[in-house]
Amino acid sequence: MARKRKNEGGTPAGRHQGTRSPGDDARTDRAPERAETESHDCQAAEPPVRPRVLVVVSSPDLRQSVAGHLGVGEFEACLTDSIADATARLRRDPFDVAIIQVRLTDGTGASLVRFIEESHPGLCVVMVSDCPTLEEASIALRCGACDLLGSGMNSPEFVDRLADALRRSWVVRDREDRIRKLRKACRELNKARKIVSSQVGSLCDDLATAYQDLTGKVADAAAAAEFNSIVRQELDLESLLRVVLEYVLAKAGPTNAAVFLPASSGDFTLGAYINYDGPKDSAETLLDHLACTIAPRLEHQIGVLRLSGRADMNERLGPESDWIADSHVMAFACHDQGECLAVVLIHRGLATPFSDDFARLVPAIADHFGRQLSRIIRCHHRHLPKDKWGLKPGSLGEDPDIDLAA
């Protein structure tokens, strides 16, 4: 659509709804080489319906000339003649472009331009003068104005140059808006990065913990497989007891240990032992006493019993445990098909508690020790009828119990 030119009186014709803005007119009338240099951002700028122009001119003649160029229907002009009033209006109302006289009655236009540059960076400024000089052009350039216009300029050229300033203002504001949005997005992304980083750190900690747990389980499984491979080679009861106690001693360190075996009478007898720090002359007497008092209490123990100190001993094992009351104790019963095949008691002083690694290994020792004991029973009595194995048939599943202490 062709731009409506000013009427014969010299003022631009009023713009109807849907007509092109001054910025569009400028793009139409500009020389081809100027249009080619327009950036994509400039082409994307959208002009407002009625551009608001702040006119700060002290000279009445120059102010009237500028108002005549602007036209009533083309721009929404706000006229003032002082820096103070212009500053107040800028703080109160938004504007698309400002027209400022180079020399004002209450100061220089350059000072007002600098104020606008600092407080309204998206607002473009056009300076005007009755008769522009090289000095005034230099002042306008140094203070940041985008153009310098003279009062003798005809209206089409004035509007064209002002449209160029408007377009610059829209482009600058669009760029500032995008920068502001990008900064906001960057802040949000930075917050998200910190959250993700903290979650990644927590995840790494969880993975490290899981890896340590898995490593411990693999090590425990390897130790259990090692113990199983050792005890499966022993088909003699005395050799089996010796190998088991040697393995316990190697894994737990210096310690006292005893294996109590069930007899046909229902009592327990001492099968094998390690005496680390007990009195040598009364060690067997003490262990025989434990076989008669402590072992029966542990016959039906499921899992590993871990006690520490006199209070735990008296509560779980009764007053008969006074001889080993001031100790750390680990005890377990070996079962197969619900039948107790042995009771193992491991204890040492309160100053040297058992390690967690050894505590994790003890259940595997109890399980494989019980299995091998059952295997030895079946192997040694396979030539006898099942009702001749020492107890009623069916005590070990299909196999009866036998007197392991015999």
How high is the pLDDT of residue 28? 39
Q: For a pLDDT cut of 70, what percent of the chain falls above it?
A: 81
| Full-model pTM | 0.48
For residue 363, give the nearest of 401, 306, 402 by alpha carbon.
306
> Encoding tokens for residue 367?
């399980």
Residue 240, helix vs strand vs coil: helix
> Encoding tokens for residue 279?
């009195």
How high is the pLDDT of residue 30? 41
> Encoding tokens for residue 81?
């003649």
Distance CA 220, CA 401 (A): 31
Pick the CATH number of 232-388 from 3.30.450.40, 3.40.50.10800, 3.40.50.1220, 3.30.565.10: 3.30.450.40
Top pLDDT among 36 and 202 is at 202
Packing angle of the helix pair 155-231, 356-380 (nearest 10 deg): 40
Provide CB contacts within 8 A for 129, sequence distance 6+. 62, 101, 102, 103, 136, 148, 149, 150, 151
Tens of pLDDT, residues 248-271:
999 888 999 999 998 877 788 888
Statement: 22-182 belongs to CATH 3.40.430.10: no
The domain ranges of the chain are 22-182, 232-388
For residue 129, give the nearest of 78, 192, 175, 66 by alpha carbon.
66
Tens of pLDDT, residues 127-185:
888 888 888 888 888 888 888 888 777 878 888 888 888 888 888 888 888 888 999 99
